[in-house]
Structure 1
Amino acid sequence: MSKRSFEAINYMLRPNKNVERKLIVATLKKLQPQFDIPKFRYVGFGSMWFSDFVLVHRYLNICDLITIENQKSRKKRVEFNKPFACIEVRMDEAAIALGDVLDGKQSIVWLDYDGPLKSAMTGDLETAVGEMVSGSMLLVSVNASVDQLRNQKLQGEEVEANVYLADICENEELLNSELRLTANEFPALAAQILHDRIKSAVLEKKPGCEYVPIWSYRYADGVTMVTVGGMIADHMDRDKLRASDASTFAAATGRELFDIDLPVLTEKEKRALDKLLPSEEGLDPRRLEFELRPSEVAAYQRFYLEYPIFGELVG
Structure 2
Amino acid sequence: MAKSTASFIAYDVRPEKQIERRAIVEYLNLSRQAGFDVGSYRYLGFGGTKFIDFQIMSKYVGMNSYVSIEHDGEIFKRCAFNKPFSSIQMYEGEVTDFLSADTYEGKTVFWLDLELKLTSAVNRAGFAGGRLV
Q: Distance in 2 between matches of 1:37 and 1:101?
A: 20
Q: Distance in 2 between matches of 1:98 and 1:57?
A: 23
Aligned-pair CA distance for 1:101: 3.3
Q: What is the aligned partner in structure 1 of residue 122 from structure 2?
A: 124
Q: Distance in 2 between matches of 1:50 and 1:15?
A: 17
Identity %: 29
* 2:71–2:92 contact (8 Å) kept in structure 1: yes
Aligned-pair CA distance for 1:71: 1.7
* 2:4–2:72 contact (8 Å) kept in structure 1: no
Q: Over aligned residue pairs, what C-alpha RMSD do you find?
A: 2.1
Aligned-pair CA distance for 1:122: 3.9
Q: Distance in 2 between matches of 1:105 and 1:99?
A: 16
Q: What is the aligned partner in structure 2 of residue 94 from structure 1?
A: 95
Q: Distance in 2 between matches of 1:47 and 1:125?
A: 24
* 2:4–2:71 contact (8 Å) kept in structure 1: no
Aligned AA (1:88):
Q
Question: TM-score, structure 2 length as denominator?
Answer: 0.85
Q: What is the aligned partner in structure 1 of residue 28 from structure 2?
A: 28
* 1:22–1:55 contact (8 Å) kept in structure 2: no
Q: How many residues align?
A: 130
Q: What is the aligned partner in structure 1 of residue 18 from structure 2?
A: 18
Q: List aligned pairs for 1:152-191, cutoff 5 A.
A: none
Q: What is the aligned partner in structure 2 of residue 103 from structure 1?
A: 104
Aligned-pair CA distance for 1:125: 5.4
- Asked if 1:8 corresponds to 2:8, the answer is yes
Greater RCO, 1 or 2 (C-alpha within 8 Å, sep 6+): 2
Q: What is the aligned partner in structure 2 of residue 175 from structure 1?
A: none
Aligned-pair CA distance for 1:50: 1.2
Q: Distance in 1 between matches of 2:108 and 2:126?
A: 10
Change (3 A) 1:25 1:128: farther
Could you report, residue by residue, the CA deviation over 1:115-137 in whole angstroms, capped at 9, with x for unpaired residues?
A: 3xxx21142256363xxxxxxxx
Secondary structure, counterpart of 2:44 in structure 1: strand
Secondary structure, counterpart of 1:54 in structure 2: helix
Aligned-pair CA distance for 1:17: 1.0
* 2:69–2:95 contact (8 Å) kept in structure 1: yes
Runs in 1 of length 4+ with deviation above 4 angstroms?
Answer: none
Q: List aligned pairs for 1:206-285, cutoff 5 A.
A: 206=130, 232-233=132-133
Larger radius of gyration: 1
- Asked if 1:53 corresponds to 2:65, the answer is no
Aligned-pair CA distance for 1:4: 4.3
Change (3 A) 1:4 1:41: closer
Could you report, residue by residue, the CA deviation over 1:263-299 in whole angstroms, capped at 9, with x for unpaired residues?
A: xxxxxxxxxxxxxxxxxxxxxxxxxxxxxxxxxxxxx
The answer for unaligned runs of 5 or more in structure 2 is none
Secondary structure, counterpart of 2:125 in structure 1: helix
Q: What is the aligned partner in structure 2 of residue 243 from structure 1?
A: none
Secondary structure, counterpart of 1:66 in structure 2: strand
Change (3 A) 1:11 1:128: farther
Q: What is the aligned partner in structure 2 of residue 68 from structure 1?
A: 69
Secondary structure, counterpart of 1:65 in structure 2: strand
* 2:70–2:92 contact (8 Å) kept in structure 1: yes
Q: What is the aligned partner in structure 2 of residue 304 from structure 1?
A: none
Aligned-pair CA distance for 1:70: 1.5
Q: What is the aligned partner in structure 2 of residue 282 from structure 1?
A: none
The answer for unaligned runs of 5 or more in structure 1 is 130-200, 210-231, 234-315
Question: TM-score, structure 1 length as denominator?
Answer: 0.38
Change (3 A) 1:124 1:109: same
